[in-house]
Each structure stands twice: as C-alpha cells, then as structure tokens.
Amino acid sequence: MTSSLKSARVCATCQYWLGARELRESGYILHDNEGICSAAGSIYKGKTVRGGQSCTHWQKWIFIK
C-alpha cells in the first residue's frame, strides 16, 4: 500500500478508480498501487492504472469532503 494526499488529483482520489483504498483522518488515502479506471471517455477506461496517475476525467471521490 502507498499513500496520497486526499487533495491530490490522482487516480486514488478519483470517483472512477476501482482500487482498494482507505481514507485516513490524517488527510491521506492509503491505496493499492493499481486499480481499474471506469471513467467514461477516459483513454484509461477498463485499463489497470496506478493510484498516483491522473487524467482529464478526474472527479473527486464521494467520500472526500
């Protein structure tokens, strides 16, 4: 597992990323290194992507306030 700031616009903080992750009170998200992108229109849709990657179809994960 790795971590990313919850304010970062990366796959691990995106609504469309299908990877294991856990939101921490410290402001970080613990996540697997890889997950599947499900963003319609993204060039990564259906592909394995790393939690630290990003694209133009990023949308904030609903559990991040």
E strands along 1-65, which residues? 2-5, 17-18, 21-23, 28-31, 34-37, 48-50
- Structure confidence at residue 13 as a pLDDT band (50, 70, 90): very high
Residue 41 is predicted with a pLDDT of 94
> Nearest 5 degrees, angle CA 20-CA 25-CA 30?
25
pTM of the model: 0.91
Does the structure show a pLDDT above 90 at 1? no
Q: Give residue-wise pLDDT tens across range 14-62.
A: 999 999 999 998 999 999 889 999 999 999 999 999 999 999 999 999 9
Identify the pLDDT of residue 43: 95
